[in-house]
Amino acid sequence: MQITFTTLLDLLGTFAFAVSGIRHASGRQIDWFGAYILGLVTAIGGGTLRDLLLDVTPFWMLDPKYFLTTGVALVSVLIFKERLLKLGSTLFLFDTIGLGLFTVVGITKSIDAGLPFWVCIIMGTITGTVGGVIRDVLLNQVPLLFRKDIYALACVAGGVIYFLCRYLNLPMGVTESIASLTVIVFRLIAVKFHLNLPHLQAIKSKSKRL
């Protein structure tokens, strides 16, 4: 297996997503196997839904590295515990890099499948965010995605920039880099300045049937 720079980023992103799933599983009467599964679905859930929708072979069937990386993430958490999370900002950076990379991978695969640009942007966003949604559903919580941060909008922004670059005929590698960086910078700024979308206020319905 040749380790390219993209592969390395992919594995770091997978590692950070898996740690996120495993950490959320901790302290909830969940055993090691359950923690592994939660790490795994966080890391591969978004790409799996994308591939099902695109009707292509789910990416993780073609290479065991995602399963192995999640195993490494579990062992790391078991060994290093809180010390791993002292790397909080490093892990957050991996997680954000993963988000940018996964989004671009999702867009590229969807272009290859011949889909229109707006579907590609949706697929990029699904790739980046759905793993965390499945993690939260399995842990019996309303998805964080719906509550805070401008997480998904960062993916959408990266997607829009991607197609702007394509429209300008920039080379593929440049387009992908700029789009990934857009996702990353967008998210970093949102977290740094505590940018959030407004919440939807309670609406009382007189009809009990809707």
203's torsion region: left (phi>0), alpha (psi -120 to 50) or beta?
Answer: beta
Residues 6+ apart with CB under 8 A from 10: 98, 101, 105
Which of residues 2, 4, 169, 207 is near a copy of itself by CB under 8 A? Answer: 207
Q: Which stretch binds a copy of itself (CB under 8 A): 2-10, 165-173, 177-185, 199-207?
A: 199-207
Tell me the window of 5-13, 28-36, 164-172, 177-185 that interacts with a copy of itself (CB under 8 A): 28-36
Which 88-127 residues touch a copy of itself, going by CB under 8 A? 88-89, 91-92, 95, 115-116, 118-119, 122
Residue 70 to residue 73: CA distance in whole angstroms? 5
Q: How far apart are CA 196 and CA 14, in angstroms?
A: 26
- Rounded to whole angstroms, the maximal C-alpha distance in the chain is 62
- Alpha carbons 30 and 36: distance in angstroms, whole number: 10
Which of the ranges 6-14, 131-139, 158-166, 172-180 carries the binding residues for a copy of itself, by CB under 8 A? 131-139
Binding residue (CB under 8 A) for a copy of itself from 8, 75, 142, 174: 142
> Which is closer to a copy of itself, CB of 57 or CB of 169?
57
Q: Report, in Å, the least distance between residue 30 CB and a copy of itself.
A: 5
Q: Which of 11, 12, 18, 19 binds a copy of itself (CB under 8 A)?
A: 19
DSSP class of 146: G
Q: Is residue 72 close enough to count as binding a copy of itself by CB under 8 A?
A: no
Q: Is 57 in the site for a copy of itself (CB under 8 A)?
A: yes
Hey, what are 172's tokens?
A: 């593929």
160 forms part of the interface with a copy of itself (CB under 8 A):
no
192 binds a copy of itself (CB under 8 A): no
Please return the burial class of 85, using the count of CB atoms within 10 Å of its CB with bins 0-12, 13-18 and 19+: middle
